[in-house]
Amino acid sequence: MIQTITPIDNTIYVEREYSSKIIEETISNSVIAQKEWALLKVGERVELLKKFVTDFLSKEKQILEEITKQIGRPISQASSELKGFKERADYMLLIAENKLKNIYLPEKENFKNYIKRIPMGVSFVIAPWNYPYLTSVNSIIPSLAAGNSVILKHSAQTPLCSEQLYESAKKNLPKNIFNYLHLNHEDSLKIVSDKRTAFVSFTGSVKAGYEVQKATTNKFISIALELGGKDPAYVRHDADIKKTVENLVDGSFFNSGQSCCGVERIYVDKKIYNDFLEFFINKTYEYKLGNPLNKDTTLGPVVKLSAAKFIENQMNLAVKQGAKMMIDKSRFDYPKEHKNYMIPQVLTGVNHEMDFMMKETFGPCVGIMSVDNDKEGINLMNDSPYGLTASIWTKDVEAAEKLGDEVNTGTLFMNRCDYLDPGLSWTGVKETGKGCSLSEIAYEHLTKPKSFHLRKELK
């Protein structure tokens, strides 16, 4: 039995039975349905998927309340997830026909030669709780547009998200093209290893990512893994301090810091460090921590009590090692009876000997360090086992591009953070994972090339 504990007051919000008994039936049905789905023209699939997206978004009010109750994100901010869902779905459907069309070789006498993009088959999408719709749409829409069928498994924290997507699919897509299952860890890996599963997209921890990859060693399969992160920002001496602070405070604390590409460490040129820190602290005090269902709340609880304990322990250890917490807890009014309501915290005096600056925290806290120059800033940015996104804050585009070439990351931002443009590939390096979702490149990962070498007449 799945029990979803709402972080608002730590009571049971949702209960669901595991889907263990219908796994075999679901995979078999998905295989059969995919064959018919693949016969449709890309444009026909796109039109059906547009109806699916429109139907899903029409349930906005209900969906936003469910998101808030399942993960604790303030309801005043929950709509951003559906805006992102629409933006990504719209873009991937817009480019689908062009990116999935046949590639014809130059005309040659008596020959017709071309490459066709063939769907992989059944896509298994394992989505996390922190952005349940934004992360899953990255794989669901392009997988379906490419002619694959999809089986979705959401986190036990967000079971209603799978159900909402399924209800819209059931009304607008052919039967069994899109299915969902509520699964435990072991059953999820069984589907990953099943030879009928042709593509796997997983977003989660590094440890679980290695388990997913290991489960595919019995077959040749394409997988996309988005795992841990400790995304850095480097603020150069010429940055617009006030606007940079506004963006980085939001990048650090939005969704209580529970973002795959949230900013967890900031390096600031020593020339502007003191001013930057002062502005950052003052901006942090503007947050209102409280019940996320209240419209004036701008910071909700972290998802679980266990998560809060982990974050607290990591910060306390850093303090024992010489770090200093800069934010006064007494200046926040919040439900203190629930330990997963955490104030946004800024740590100074940090260094890379501390777990707080090296291991993923996934909470409303950030470490800020002073650096002497560009070289030190870039070296510290790269001194990490992860690499999803990184940002450079400067007025000098040339400098950002030059320094960006030296940063080992999947996405390099200038004067922006914690955002995803669907036209760009979403990928990571090092322990953050492999593969790619979104952009035109995603369609290459979700299909396989098939060459047609046709000689018209024997001579």
- pLDDT digit string, tens, across residues 223-253: 999 999 999 999 999 999 999 999 999 999 9
CB 417 within 8 A of CB 248: yes
Mean pLDDT of 104-133: 97
Burial class (CB within 10 angstroms; exposed 0-12, middle 13-18, buried 19+) of 213? middle
pLDDT of residue 109: 93
Average pLDDT over residues 135-163: 98
Q: Residue 131 and residue 122: Cα distance in Å, rounded?
A: 23
Alpha carbon of 74 to those of 251, 259, 295, 301, 332: distances in Å?
15, 14, 7, 9, 16
Which part of the chain is CATH 3.40.605.10? 2-228+428-455
- Domain 2-228+428-455, CATH among 3.30.830.10, 3.40.605.10, 3.40.710.10, 3.10.450.50: 3.40.605.10
Query: Would you say how long the chain is, in residues?
Result: 459
pLDDT digits (tens, 9 = 90+) for 327-383: 999 999 999 999 999 999 999 999 999 999 999 999 999 999 999 999 999 999 999
Cβ 232 vs Cβ 383: under 8 Å:
no
Global pTM?
Answer: 0.96
Q: What integer best gives the mean pLDDT of the chain? A: 97
Q: How many CB atoms lie within 10 A of CB 138?
A: 29
Amino acid identity of 274?
N
Q: What pLDDT shows up at residue 418?
A: 86
Strand arrangement, sheet containing 231-235: 324-325, 345-348, 365-371, 263-269, 231-235, 389-393, 411-414
Question: In the 3-class helix/strand/coil scheme, how is the chain assigned residue by residue?
Answer: CEEEEECCCCEEEEEECCCHHHHHHHHHHHHHHHHHHHHCCHHHHHHHHHHHHHHHHCCHHHHHHHHHHHHCCCCCCCHHHHHHHHHHHHHHHHCHHHHCCCEECCCECCEEEEEEEEECCEEEEEECCCCHHHHHHHHHHHHHHCCCEEEEEECCCCHHHHHHHHHHHHHHCCCCCEEECCCCHHHHHHHHHCCCEEEEEEECCHHHHHHHHHCCCCCCCEEEEECCCCEEEEECCCCCHHHHHHHHHHHHHHHHHCCCCCEEEEEEECCCHHHHHHHHHHHHCCCCECCCCCCCCCECCCCCHHHHHHHHHHHHHHHHCCCEECCCHHHCCCCCCCCCCCCCEEEECCCCCCHHHHCCCCCCEEEEEEECCHHHHHHHHHCCCCCCEEEEECCCHHHHHHHHCCCCCCEEEECCCCCCCCCCCECCCHHHEECCECHHHHHHHCEEEEEEEEECCCC
Strand partners, 201: 125, 224
pLDDT computed for residue 117 by the predictor: 97
Average pLDDT over residues 285-311: 98
Q: Judge whether residue 4 has pLDDT over 90.
A: yes
CA distance 197 to 454: 31
pLDDT (tens digit per residue) in 381-414: 999 999 999 999 999 999 999 999 999 999 999 9
pLDDT in tens, 168-179: 999 999 999 999
CB atoms within 10 A of CB 216: 16
pLDDT of residue 459: 79
Amino acid type, 426: W
Architecture field, domain 231-385+389-414: 3-Layer(aba) Sandwich (3.40)
Contacts of 210 (CB under 8 A, 6+ apart): none
Helices 374-382, 397-404: inter-axial angle, 10-degree rounding: 40
Q: Which token pair is 85? A: 């869902």
Residue 154: its pLDDT value, please?
98
pLDDT of residue 430: 97
The average pLDDT across 120-138 equals 97
